[in-house]
Amino acid sequence: MEYFLIPGRHPELSAAELWAVAERDHLGAELRETAGAIFISTDRELPAELPSWLGGMVKFGKIIGEVSEHELTGWLADRVVESGGRDFGISIYHGGSAARFKNLGLEVKRVLRERGIKSRWVSSREPTLSAVVVQKNGLIRTGIEFCLFADGQRISVGQTTDVQAFEEFSFRDYGRPRRDIRSGMLPVKLARMLINLSRTPRNGILLDPFCGSGTIVTEAAILGFRQVIGGDLEKRAVEDTAENVGWTSRNLDISKTSVRILQSPAEEIDRALENTKVDGIATEPYLGPPLRGRERPADIEKIVRELSILYVKSFAAIRNVLTPGAAVAAVFPVFRSGNRELPLPVLEDLKKLGFLPAPLLPPGLDVKMTARGSLIYQRPDQRVLREVFLFKTSSLDNTLKKG
């Protein structure tokens, strides 16, 4: 059985998130990546809810056949008829095949017309239909979208079964009552990816020790975690999180989740939690003050030094609240200064605490990782890049036993 996922703007992170969920939920899935798509091979049906759990998914579906090019038009027409609908769309992924299939939609429509069937071909100026176009035209509910993946003369054909809930993500990004723009806004989709990357079991306890306005807390509640704990130094952040959790509960059912919010510096989160242990951490720590682009190199270097101290102290406290084998998914800043990129030089100090960067991706995927074992999340013209890490703590357990 084979499925496909069309990733968002950061395909490496999308693949990492999918692999993390597959590992956490024991889905027995193998991943392979090609230009524009991630393929999932498994000997079982994947949960129908899987696409809705993901933050980095644009489209999701099943591979329904492999067809030669000369059979393709009639084969697609047959599938349109079988679907019971009359609307269809075609997206061309992989293999530089857009020009080859430029008129494919018109040809399928012609074949259907010759059979006496009226149809509507949903098209776009681009070779692929966006999630918005697919949803707005009802291609999942009452029609069909074909995703074509060409390899020479053989074409794998996928049928889209899900698209990203873009309206819901946007509503939570911009509709929530408290948004701290000055301290930096963690995008909702990235928050969800961090939660999934942490591999925290849903029946466990997830911690965000730098909760800000509560994006990770609310997304974890929406995903149905048993307990979520958010902590922050600032009283305003604690109040913002509480209000955003309340707003979320009025718009969505998060009754399965117990939410606890603490006012505490991350460097003292172990004291604030007392005897509570957590099963995973997803967090974007403080990324530094807003930059205007006129900072001198010395100013940037000072920020890097100060943040490095904060992060090491925070991880020292975090190590005391983790259950054995728990993982930490975290964002670190990478600063641009002139032609240089300055990451936080803290990995050796974290190693001494028992934290090692763990692989974010399975072996065999042709993806770009940094030399530090991280993945980069960035938006156009950002002065501060986000460096995404997964830290495993099995080495931490050994370190503590030796100490």
pLDDT band at 150 (very low <50, low <70, confident <90, very high): confident
Question: How far apart (Å, rounded) are the C-alpha atoms in residues 309 and 312?
Answer: 5
pLDDT value at position 398? 43
Question: How far apart (Å, rounded) are the C-alpha atoms in residues 19 and 355?
Answer: 21
pLDDT of 403 higher than 60: no
Give per-residue pLDDT as tens, 8-29: 999 999 999 999 999 999 999 9
| Homologous superfamily, domain 178-402 | Vaccinia Virus protein VP39 (3.40.50.150)
pLDDT of 401 higher than 60: no
Average pLDDT, the chain: 92
Helix 235-251 with 215-222: angle, nearest 10 deg? 30
Helices (H) and strands (E) in the chain, counts: 13, 17
Give per-residue pLDDT as tens, 127-141: 999 999 999 999 999
Where does residue 247 rank: exposed (0-12), middle (13-18), buried (19+ CB within 10 A)? middle
Which one, of 344, 345, 353, lies nearest residue 314 by Cα?
353
Domain residue ranges of the chain, discontinuous segments joined by +: 2-164, 178-402
pLDDT of 269 higher than 80: yes
pLDDT value at position 95? 56
In the predicted model, what is the mean pLDDT of residues 173-194?
A: 85
SS3 assignment, position 170: helix
Tokens of 289: 């003050």
pLDDT of 38 higher than 90: yes
Contact yes or no for 30/105 (Cβ under 8 A): no
What is 217-259 written as a DSSP string? HHHHHHTT-SEEEEEES-HHHHHHHHHHHHHHHHHS--TT-EE
Question: How far apart (Å, rounded) are the C-alpha atoms in residues 194 and 303?
Answer: 24
Give per-residue pLDDT as tens, 290-344: 888 888 999 999 999 999 999 999 999 999 999 999 999 999 999 998 888 999 9
Tokens of 221: 């509640």
pLDDT of 97 higher than 90: no
Where does residue 295 rank: exposed (0-12), middle (13-18), buried (19+ CB within 10 A)? middle
Name the β-bridge partners of 333: 386
Contact yes or no for 155/71 (Cβ under 8 A): no
pLDDT of 104 higher than 60: yes
SS3 assignment, position 288: coil
Contact yes or no for 134/145 (Cβ under 8 A): yes
CATH number of 2-164: 3.30.2130.30
pLDDT value at position 380? 76
Give per-residue pLDDT as tens, 203-248: 999 999 999 999 999 999 999 999 999 999 999 999 999 999 999 9
